[in-house]
Amino acid sequence: MNEISQASELAGFFPFWDKLSQPMKEQLIRHVSVRKYPAKTAIYQGRQNCLGLLLIRSGQIRAYIMTEEGRELTLYRLFSGDICLFSASCVFNSIQFDIFLTAEQDTEVLHIPPDIYRECIEQSAPAALYTNELMASGFSEVMWVLEQVLSKKMDARLAAFLIEESALEETDDLTLTHEQIANHLGSAREVMTRMLKYFQSEGLVRLTRGHVELTDVPGLTRLAKDSLR
């Protein structure tokens, strides 16, 4: 990758690129590197290993937390063109929580080391301001999850999750165990099994071992609406 194509790619990720000083641009170009994560590999496991800023070229990253009981709760997903801020959480003293990141598909990113990124937002108000927006965006996702968890409308949450997965995977036949679904929704397997069986009895899904087939997408969509803002 030459310097010119790197600069134009970074400019695509950073709306503040044109406002950076020439030395700062050169430093970012010098330190950016390509990283590849095969599907289902862990990218980041909390604050103990500070990775840096990730600019997602292709693929999909899932951000989640682990509960005390070892359950996972999906917070949000990042796609091509998105910036992953929380892999650089060590850049901020006040981040006192651990987010886990996993590549859900084969994922390719541009990596910027944490110290270089820190220097960038220390020097440039537009870069720091944009970082505020990135953080606010992640914050908003988490607030939505918190509201979902509190609202306890598990039927609507499950329906919304199945529709989202179906859209992401581009199939109505999802390869998912009840355990996996429970992890995504921060619930227990037994609760999910009960709810899925209820969905099946309503003709919304067909269950086979390790699979959930969506048989009434309009019906699931109606149900999901209750859980969406």
Residues that bind its own copies (CB under 8 A): 65, 67-69, 71, 73, 92-97, 121-129, 131-140, 142-147, 149-151, 153, 186
What is the DSSP annotation of 85-113?
A: -GGGGGG-TT--S--EEEESS-EEEEEE-
Name the residue nearer to its own copies (CB basis): 29 or 95.
95
Identify which of 111, 133, 109, 110 has the alpha carbon closest to the alpha carbon of residue 121: 133
Structure tokens at 11: 């400019």
Least distance from its own copies to the Cβ atom of residue 200, Å: 27
Name the residue nearer to its own copies (CB basis): 119 or 173.
119
Structure tokens at 45: 């496991």
Least distance from its own copies to the Cβ atom of residue 192, Å: 15
Name the residue nearer to its own copies (CB basis): 26 or 147.
147
Least distance from its own copies to the Cβ atom of residue 139, Å: 5
Q: Rounded to whole angstroms, how far apart are CA atoms 184 and 186?
A: 6
Question: Which segments of 129-210 are extended strands (E)?
Answer: 173-175, 205-208
Name the residue nearer to its own copies (CB basis): 37 or 64.
64
